Amino acid sequence: MKRIKKTFEGFKKSIKIVTISLGLGVFFAFVYFILILFIHNRAPAETKIVNVDFSYKTTKQINRKLASLENQLLEKKIKVKLNDVEKDILIKDLGVDILTLETTSLINKHNSRNENPIKFFFPDKKVSISPIVKIDEEKLNQTLEDNFKKSDFEPKNASYYFEGKKLHTAPDKDGLVINSEKLKLDLIEIGKSITPKGLLIEAAQGKAKITYESLLADKTNFSSNLTKIYELIDPVYNENFKVSLVNEQDWVKFVENGNKIDIEIQDAGIDRFIDENISKWLDVDPDNVDIYKNEDGKVVIKGKGNDGLKIQRDVFKKLIKKSIKENITKIPIPIERTPPKISISDDLKALGINERLNIGHTSYYGSPANRVHNIKVGAERFNGKIIAAGETFSFNQNLGRVDNTTGYKKELVIKPEGTIPEYGGGICQVSTTLYRAALLSGLQISERNQHSYAVSYYSQIMGHGLDATIYLGGADLKITNNTPGSILMQTYIENDYELYFVIYGTKDGRSVEMEGPYISNNTKPGETIYVKTTDLAPGKTKQAEKAHNGFNALWYRYVTDSQGVVTKETISTKYKAVPAKVLVGEDQT
């Protein structure tokens, strides 16, 4: 029993020792954990920044203290001397900036490499850190300019400038060059020491990098870039815009690049040009359209169904800059299209009229009043016309009678005997516009006749070679509807001088591309023809016919069907040269 008792007491003693040991271990582990928490994100003992003790300070405390020291420094003035002129200037105005967060991070990095409590409280060596300082050079240069007018004594590079539409060269001038690197080092030292001290800015004689002679030698080449014509390609109306930098001087900024002058294209100038010249045509909202039959069975079309257009300005400006830099003279205007909402009644949809196929567009600016009137009257005859699938449509048959009883006025008409006034002069603008709508819609052209000589009205959009003349009892325009359903025509006029034909129907996957015009075989009109007449007083003259050059215009139409099969069609037009004709009055006796 004594042995058992003795063994039990020894066991109790061992348990006690183990318990005490575990307790002490837990205690020391807890203390160690508390110490680790304490030293985390704190500066170790003997940590100083420019002789300011930051021992045991938290990151937040360090940041706050550094910011306070920075503010105190930056709000002090120091004496700055440059070119024999001395000024008292705030340190902050010299562009000095102490980066407090970055400086604090240096302490954290130092501490994170050795989170040992013993070394934290009893480091092997003292930690001395200099603040990280940055110099705002733009602010510094502005301050030097404001206080010392440094641009007055610095070397001046030669430069180009406009006077009217002529390029001139301003001469270079030698001057004093500030030792910028030493100046920045001196300012950084002020920031690192957080100690204000006077500043002597060193400057020495220097020469301009860009000389008058070098610019003069390159002036001819430089001027050619400014006078070069760039064509901004209008993808909608083909009304391209021609520009040159000498005429759009707010596009241009002359900038120094090493020892030469470059052109920097300015966004504000391009925006101004777009606003004044292009936006009114190519920034428009979509024009929704509603199509139905009224109680009398007549097709009613409300709205015009025009796409919404928006110039992609940022892309356009990048294209302009790239093109000017790379000497590309044709610059497309990038457009984003938004289709209109087209509402079509069910009875018309049943005929296959479901969507817009394409649009024909011509303009006739400069036309006399009677011609403009006749175009309007003629176009109205075709608004709402329906062509059944497989039907061949005759322009002349649907035009009807053309005289004063149907609302037409006399205007010039091209006839074999010359250009003479007749009722309905100008209707060919209507047939030409329909012809183009049919071409672009991929419809079959069963008959088309050209004008004998080129008429400028038909070339204002898309150029020459796509006109279609008609004459009642003679030349006709015939179109065959080779789509799956009926097609509907809509006509309208905008801006008094622009005619549109819109074709509605059912798309079957076909697409159309037009290529041209290719102009060739230009011929002069020959000598003026003088014709005697008794209709004029003797000796009086009157021009009966203007001279017209002759030439050939060639177009290609590519129609791709839903299976990808491409059909190429050639549209060849030969305009004859017509000499001027002048009537000369003669005595009847």
pLDDT (tens digit per residue) in 270-305: 999 999 999 998 999 999 999 999 999 999 999 988
For 47, residues 6+ apart whose C-beta sits below 8 A from its C-beta are 53, 54, 55, 57, 107, 110, 126, 127, 129
pLDDT of residue 542: 77
Mean pLDDT value across residues 155-182 = 93
Query: Could you tell me if residue 5 is inside a domain?
Result: yes
pLDDT of residue 110: 62
Q: In the 8-state DSSP scheme, what is residue 548?
A: B
CA distance 55 to 45: 5
- Residue 256 pairs with which residues in a beta bridge? 261
Q: Which of 16-25, 27-36, 113-122, 492-501 has the highest mean pLDDT?
A: 492-501
Q: Of 283, 292, 289, which is closest to residue 302 (Cα–Cα)?
A: 289
Mean pLDDT value across residues 488-496 = 94
Banded pLDDT at 325 (limits 50, 70, 90)? very high
Do 358 and 339 form a contact (C-beta atoms < 8 A)?
no
Query: Could you tell me if residue 116 is inside a domain?
Result: no
Mean pLDDT value across residues 436-441 = 97
Strands (E), 151-207: 159-163, 166-170, 175-178, 199-200, 203-206
pLDDT of residue 415: 54
Token output for 286: 């979509």
pLDDT at 35 > cutoff 60: no
pLDDT of residue 24: 67
pLDDT (tens digit per residue) in 61-82: 888 888 888 899 899 999 999 9
pLDDT of residue 20: 76
3-class SS at 378? helix
Q: What are the φ/ψ torsions at residue 497 (nearest 5 degrees)?
A: -130, 20
pTM > 0.85: no
pLDDT of residue 541: 82
Between residues 373 and 106, the one the model is more confident about:
373
Mutual orientation of helices 100-112 and 59-74 as an angle, nearest 10°?
A: 150
CA distance 159 to 222: 12
Query: Could you tell me if residue 544 is inside a domain?
Result: yes
pLDDT of residue 499: 95
Q: Say which amino acid occupies 563.
A: Q
Strands 199-200 and 77-82: parallel
**% of residues, the chain, pLDDT over 90:** 63
pLDDT of residue 409: 87
Query: Could you tell me if residue 534 is inside a domain?
Result: yes
Q: In the 8-state DSSP scheme, what is residue 57?
A: -
Strands 392-394 and 478-480: antiparallel
Query: Could you tell me if residue 555 is inside a domain?
Result: yes
Q: Of 236, 200, 242, which is closest to residue 84 (Cα–Cα)?
A: 200
CB burial class (10 A; 0-12, 13-18, 19+) of residue 308? middle
CA distance 305 to 584: 52
Do 393 and 477 form a contact (C-beta atoms < 8 A)?
no
Q: In the 8-state DSSP scheme, what is residue 103?
A: H
pLDDT at 416 > cutoff 60: no
Between residues 148 and 425, the one the model is more confident about:
148
Banded pLDDT at 418 (limits 50, 70, 90)? low
**% of residues, the chain, pLDDT over 70:** 89
pLDDT at 417 > cutoff 60: no
pLDDT of residue 305: 83
Q: Say which amino acid occupies 354.
A: N
pLDDT of residue 531: 79
Q: Of 496, 514, 432, which is closest to residue 468 (Cα–Cα)?
A: 432
Query: Could you tell me if residue 286 is inside a domain?
Result: no
pLDDT (tens digit per residue) in 200-223: 999 899 999 999 999 999 999 999
Rounded alpha-carbon distances, angstroms, from residue 556 to 330, 433, 465, 576: 22, 18, 10, 21
CA distance 350 to 395: 25
Token output for 198: 């006077």
pLDDT of residue 116: 64
pLDDT of residue 117: 67
CA distance 240 to 226: 19
Residue whose entry in the numeric block shows the structure tokens 């930690």: 127
Spell out a b/e string for 230-267, using b for 16 or more CB atoms within 10 Å of the CB, else e: bebebebeeeebebebbebeebbeeeeeeeebebebbe
Q: Of 530, 529, 526, which is closest to residue 548 (Cα–Cα)?
A: 526
pLDDT (tens digit per residue) in 83-100: 889 999 999 999 999 988
Banded pLDDT at 32 (limits 50, 70, 90)? low
Q: What is the span of the domain harbouring residue 29?
A: 1-34
Query: Could you tell me if residue 58 is inside a domain?
Result: no
- Residue 555 pairs with which residues in a beta bridge? 571
pLDDT of residue 413: 65
CA distance 157 to 215: 10
Mean pLDDT value across residues 336-344 = 93
Query: Could you tell me if residue 423 is inside a domain?
Result: yes
Q: Of 454, 367, 451, 448, which is closest to residue 409 (Cα–Cα)?
A: 367
Domains in the chain: how many in total?
A: 2
Mean pLDDT value across residues 326-343 = 94
